[in-house]
Chains A and B, each alone.
Chain A
Amino acid sequence: MPDNGPVVGVLALQGDVREHQRAVSECGLRSALVRRPAELAEVDALILPGGESTTISRLLVAFDLMGPLRARLAEGMPAYGACAGMILLSREILDGTADQRTLAGLDVVVRRNAFGRQVDSFEADLEFEGIPGGTVRAVFIRAPWVERAGSGVEVLARVPEIPAAGGAAGRIVAIRQGCVLATAFHPELTGDRRVHQLFCEMVRRSRVGACR
């Protein structure tokens, strides 16, 4: 890996941090763990991993990361959030806890635990806009979905409109807005690196101007 290439931070307060780190390194970029404001200042992009969104939100506040992270996002730092990460990046949370804070990096309203409890967690194949080579195997774990998306938000994947999907049919589960990408599911849990490659490509392009 080139020493001067961009460094992708992985927010390491709680969650499946190592899996995202491994995925980034397999995509050919350097990675670093971020738990402190000084560590955030040194990365070029940030992944918010899967985990418990209420826990991560509290720790972001407790360790003085909420403000600096909002500021970096406002400056256009590329970010990718998976599941809990998508919740944290949203503008508004439905079914969250009363004091749960968000980073407002994406103009979306998300519903937490939208698909139900763990016994309802599932995997399925999804068509994913902008990812070549066929469907993506998506692992949904007590996952959120996007309830409403602003006009600047690009929808990349939805739950297939099949009878088995029930009330979830057609729900938005992957989005992009500017330099920020989010999925309701966990590509880091499968060996398929195409979603992380898409993000790493956005990170590389952000260095020469636009993320896409």
Chain B
Amino acid sequence: MQADNSSIERQIGTARVKRGMAEMLKGGVIMDVVTPVQARIAEDAGAVAVMALERVPADIRAQGGVARMSDPDMIASIMEAVSIPVMAKARIGHFVEAQVLQAIGVDYIDESEVLTPADEAHHIDKFAFTVPFVCGATNLGEALRRISEGAAMIRSKGEAGTGNVVEATRHMRAIRTAIRSLTTMASEELSAAAKELAAPLELVREVAAAGALPVVLFTAGGIATPADAAMMMQLGAQGVFVGSGIFKSGDPAKRAEAIVKATTFHDDPEMVAKVSRGLGEPMVGINLGELPDGQRLAQRGW
């Protein structure tokens, strides 16, 4: 959305400004925090941004019930506590929660499957906002549908709150493999590919030509160790979201800093080994086989 069409004045909320913000987060770690104290620990550890929320995904899982946007007071207290960007989550399709978050002044909105969806058919029209959105995806088609609705950044869904990286791996591989496959197709094959992906042909052509999404791709959902983060980066992620993995572990400050360093030096095994030493207890993980279908968050949204 261009709030101002005059070229001699300033334009806010343009695609370049929204997507550009995500470009500045690349190579960095975005951490879930539930209090101002945690937010400062994250900032001190070198987080590029924090995600302000009332409960981390592991607790949402454990406590059940409907998970909603966090209390604006709580988000505002985190915005006051740190100088790095602050993100917050709105329910899938809940455009009024998104309006509220924009009114508070958060820097990025995550339209997130971690919260209980508010609309089973429609995602938020993200072009209608000045604030940029990040959305989860399990495959390329889903990523392109979100981009066609205005998402300025994509992340893998993974399986949040499990401390188990297997679903994030699946989603990162699915997205990257599908992109590679598009780059080898003849022009006339792209139309059928777009049909298969259930995504706009124009976007499919753009991805085929560039060999990459037109927006930044992060990973999320189950990252709990420096090696997890480094593996996702080697699989083509441009940065990492860590949800429950830091503040559900034994020594959050140390683990947070180690994950930041492992993300920067993801291709240097000696460095990843060095920062992985003596981190204390990781969060307790959940095997996906133990999760009943209804508790799989990645299946929310389309």
Binding site for B on A (CB under 8 A): 12-17, 19, 35, 50-52, 54-55, 58-59, 62, 83-84, 95-97, 112-113, 117-125, 139-142, 160, 162, 164-165, 186, 189-190
Contacts and interface: CB of A to CB of B under 8 A. Distances in A.
A191 B294 CA distance: 47
B49 interface: yes
B298 interface: no
B83 A112 contact: yes
Main secondary structure of the interface of B (DSSP, over half): loop
B27 A17 contact: yes
B43 interface: yes
Contacts of B106: 117-118
Given A17-B26, A96-B83, A118-B132, A52 B16 contact: no
B17 interface: yes
A15 B239 CA distance: 10
Interface in B147-194: none
Contacts of A58: 46, 260
A122 B26 contact: no
A189 B15 CA distance: 11
Contacts of A190: 16
Given A52-B24, A55-B48, A139 B265 contact: no
17 contacts: A12-B27, A15-B24, A52-B24, A52-B48, A52-B49, A113-B83, A118-B106, A119-B13, A119-B130, A121-B12, A122-B11, A123-B17, A124-B9, A139-B16, A141-B20, A141-B24, A189-B23
A117 B17 contact: no
Contacts of A97: 43-44, 83
Contacts of A162: 8-9
Given A14-B264, A52-B84, 12 more contacts: A13-B27, A51-B28, A54-B46, A55-B46, A113-B83, A119-B102, A119-B105, A124-B9, A139-B16, A142-B107, A162-B9, A189-B23
Given A117-B107, A139-B16, A50 B264 contact: no
A120 B18 CA distance: 11
A35 B265 contact: yes
A118 B21 contact: yes
Contact of B131 (A16, A119, A122, A189): A119
B200 interface: no
**Ranked 5 nearest A-B pairs via Cβ:** A118-B107, A122-B10, A52-B48, A14-B27, A16-B23
B218 interface: no
A50 B46 CA distance: 15
Contacts of A113: 83
A123 B24 contact: no
Contacts of B47: 55
B21 A55 contact: no
B108 interface: yes
A14 B28 contact: yes
A158 to B, nearest CB: 14
